[in-house]
Amino acid sequence: MSDTGDGPTDDGPADQFTQPDRDSGPSVEFYGGRGMSAFPIAFFIVWAIVQTALWRIGDTGGLIVGILVGLIVGMFFVRGNWESYANTIFEGMTQPVAVTAIVAWIWAGMFAQLLQDGGFVGGLVWLADTAGVGAALFPAITFVLAAVFTTGIGTGYGATVAFVGLFFPAGVLLGANPILLFGAILSGAIFGDNLAPVSDTTIVSAVTQDADIGGVVASRFKYVIIAAVVAFLGYVVAGGAMDGRDIGAEAQAIFLEGSEAIGLIHIVSMLAVIVAAIAGRHIVEAISWGIVIAVAFNLIFGLESIGGIVMFNAPSDAPLAEPLSGLPVLTVVEDPDAVGVGGSLMNGVAGFLELSILVLLIIGAAQIMIRGGAFEVLLEWSLENLATNVRNAELTMVGSAALINAIITINTAAEVAIGPYISKIGERFNLNGYRRANILDGQTAALGYIFPWSGGVLAGYSAMQNLPGEYDWFDQSMVVTPIDVVPFVFQGWLLVAVFVLAALTGFGREYVIDRESEEVARV
């Protein structure tokens, strides 16, 4: 999604992720030059920083207003017909990478909600309590499990949603620090999103640099594992040093008494998703199998009723409402505010509607920047002025990929946009395609889960906002504001640092003449 971090279609990765043709589509001219095309996205970033960092408001609806205001005001800087500006917004919003992220969130949201309502959180608490896993180690263990899960299914966004809904409340209940725990989940998503062969960030980074996916994955392992080992140790140390939130001994005891091992049956549901994804099935198909198995387990083991999975709340005057009120999925209600559709499936979808709108608008604003020329001006300046030798060229690749991902918050979209420029810089110094792909994906996979307005962080935050309504002991103070988690996404910061050091020292650097593609693929 990630990244969007989602697997390829059956048509193959090259068909799914083609590079955009900047000579096609509408071009937009602005008063003040090409740089003014960056106004909508720049306005949004300033808005997001003020809202999340200065005023500590993590509301997704507020971010939607910010990007809308930026787009509306930006229109007044357009030279000539405003129609091209409007069409460019629609062009961006219809990009496949944006839709892919939204689909991953929705499917993962339904899956996580089914497991949550099926007692999986209670099962995790029971297991941790029985095994003696305390608050200090829980973030580190969560990091490892999230990394394994994401590597298997290939969607970092989907894994973030699932782990925030399942492992986050379990860890908070056991006494782990919520901010550190959220950072560990995001770090695990980064690990898998960066390394998984079925992740679309892996696929895009390979396709845009004319490299094969097997060689890319094999050659990047050394970078990822260095960051992961240090991150794991960081979570062990920080877990022992950072206190959790006091939920009250009475509430904790009540939940622990109600936690049963049967909820762990849903480990099978999670494994089904991983196996299907590893087998090459599309991520929608893989998670759908998990949903089907989770529904079956909930019903067979009495973990949830059919009405808990989907329930139609109809008014008493609706046709056939009273005669069919005996159906397990239909309830007749007198309160007009209670009319609607509920249950696990609906609740899983509803939590991501605002986020989906926000992402579409951000991609639309990014497309304005691309069609208006600010994107190209920025990268061409760095190409001509910074990439003066191979070391500086690699540092420029790291910095430009990081900068663009800060602007285009969906990491796969950022990769698609900047991929041709990374290729141009690398080819100037004869850098191997694997090296270029690894530098590109390292920054986009990492920073897509760090900035408060990035897709990965907002996906987790959206899932977290639903938790106070799920558990009596979980109050609003336990919800982590996106800005607070920034320093604790250890895998992300360390991965960026690894590539900066690799550029400075030459670690892992290879040229086209060093080894052929087939040889690197066998590393």
Of residues 154, 190, 121, the one with CA closest to residue 496: 190
Where residue 199 falls (left for φ over 0; alpha for ψ -120 to 50; beta otherwise) is beta
Mean pLDDT of the 212-226 span? 93
Average pLDDT, integer, range 168-174: 92
Cα distance between residue 171 and residue 247, in whole Å: 12
Looking at residue 208, its amino acid is: T
- pLDDT class of 514 with cuts at 50, 70, 90: low
Confidence label for 25 from pLDDT (cuts 50, 70 and 90): low
In this model, does residue 226 exceed pLDDT 60?
yes
Cβ count near 306 (within 10 Å)? 14
The predicted pLDDT at position 97 comes to 75
Q: Helix 433-447 vs helix 200-208: angle between axes, to the nearest 10 degrees?
A: 140
Helix, strand, or coil (residue 511): strand
Spatial contact of 411 and 200, defined as CB atoms under 8 Å apart: no
Q: Which two tokens stand for residue 39?
A: 């106004």
Cα(54)–Cα(47) distance, rounded to whole angstroms?
A: 10
pLDDT at 290 over 90: yes
Residue 467 exposure: Cα atoms within 13 Å on the Cβ side: 30
Q: Binning pLDDT at 50, 70 and 90, where does residue 16 land?
A: very low
**Integer Cα distance of 104 and 348 in angstroms:** 12
Determine the Cα angle at 460 with ends 190 and 227, to 5°.
20
- Pick from 22-36, 237-251, 371-385, 454-468: least confident: 22-36
Which of these ranges, 93-97, 354-358, 490-494, has the smallest mean pLDDT?
93-97
Q: Give all strands of the β-sheet with 330-333 in edge-to-edge order.
A: 330-333, 311-315, 340-342
DSSP track, 393-407: HHHHHHHHHHHHHHH
Place of tokens 């405003």: 82
Provide the residue type at 213 as one letter: I
One DSSP character per residue, 187-254 reads HHHHHHHHH-TT-HHHHHHHHHTT--HHHHHHHHHHHHHHHHHHHHHHHHHHHHHS------HHHHHH
Q: Are 7 and 199 in contact (CB under 8 A)?
A: yes
Least confident of 24-38, 108-122, 128-142, 199-213: 24-38
Exposure b/e, 330-365, CB count within 10 A at least 16 = b: bbbbeeeeeeeebbbbbbbbebbebbbbbbbbbbbb
Token duo for residue 24: 């096609």
How far apart are alpha carbons 388 and 396 in whole angstroms?
Answer: 10
Label the pairing between strands 311-315 and 340-342: antiparallel
Residue 10 has pLDDT above 70, yes or no: no
Instruction: Give the whole-angstrom CA distance, residue 230 versus residue 221.
Output: 14
Examine the pLDDT at 274 and tell me if it is beyond 60. Answer: yes
d(C-alpha 139, C-alpha 240), whole Å: 10
Confidence of residue 245 (pLDDT cuts 50, 70, 90): confident
The predicted pLDDT at position 24 comes to 53
**Cα-based distances in Å from 391 to 302, 505, 507:** 61, 8, 11
Judge whether residue 256 has pLDDT over 80: no
Please tell me the predicted confidence (pLDDT) of residue 20.
Answer: 44
**Is the pLDDT score of 413 beyond 60?**
yes
**Prediction pTM value:** 0.85
* pLDDT more than 90, % of the chain: 59
Instruction: Give me the mean pLDDT over the 407-419 stretch.
Output: 85
pLDDT of 18 higher than 50: no
Instruction: Check pLDDT > 50 for residue 22.
Output: no
Q: Across 154-158, 415-419, 446-450, which has the greatest mean pLDDT?
A: 446-450
- Structure-token pair, residue 366: 């990014």
Q: Which residue has the higher pLDDT, 12 or 215?
A: 215
How much is the pLDDT for 250?
Answer: 66
The alpha carbon of 254 is separated from its chain's Cα centroid by a whole number of angstroms, namely 33
- Please give the structure tokens belonging to residue 18: 């083609």
229, pLDDT greater than 70: yes
Take residue 196 and report the two structure tokens written for it. Answer: 């998984």
Tokens matching residue 350: 């509803």
pLDDT, tens digit, 9 for 90 and up, residues 300-352: 999 999 999 999 999 988 998 888 888 999 999 988 888 999 999 999 998 78
On whether the CB atoms of residues 409 and 448 are closer than 8 A, the answer is yes
Bridge pairing between strands 340-342 and 330-333:
unpaired
Give per-residue pLDDT as tens, 145-168: 999 999 988 889 999 999 999 999
Q: What is the DSSP string of 254-279?
A: HHHHH--GGGGGGHHHHHHHHHHHHT
Closest to 262 in 3D by CA, of 305, 301, 309: 301
Lowest mean pLDDT among 82-96, 97-111, 157-171: 97-111
Could you give the C-alpha distances from 109 to 133, 291, 309, in angstroms and in order? 27, 10, 13
Lowest mean pLDDT among 269-273, 437-441, 511-515: 511-515
Mean pLDDT (the chain, rounded): 88
Q: Is residue 523 over pLDDT 60?
A: no
Given this model, what pLDDT does residue 8 score? Answer: 39
Q: How many residues does the chain have?
A: 523
251: pLDDT strictly greater than 90? no
Q: What is the mean pLDDT of residues 233-239?
A: 97
Residue with more model confidence, 367 or 11? 367
Specify whether the CB–CB gap between 134 and 175 falls below 8 A. yes
Is 13 a residue whose pLDDT tops 80? no
What tokens appear for 327 in the block?
A: 């159906």
Task: Provide mean pLDDT across the span 289-294.
Answer: 96
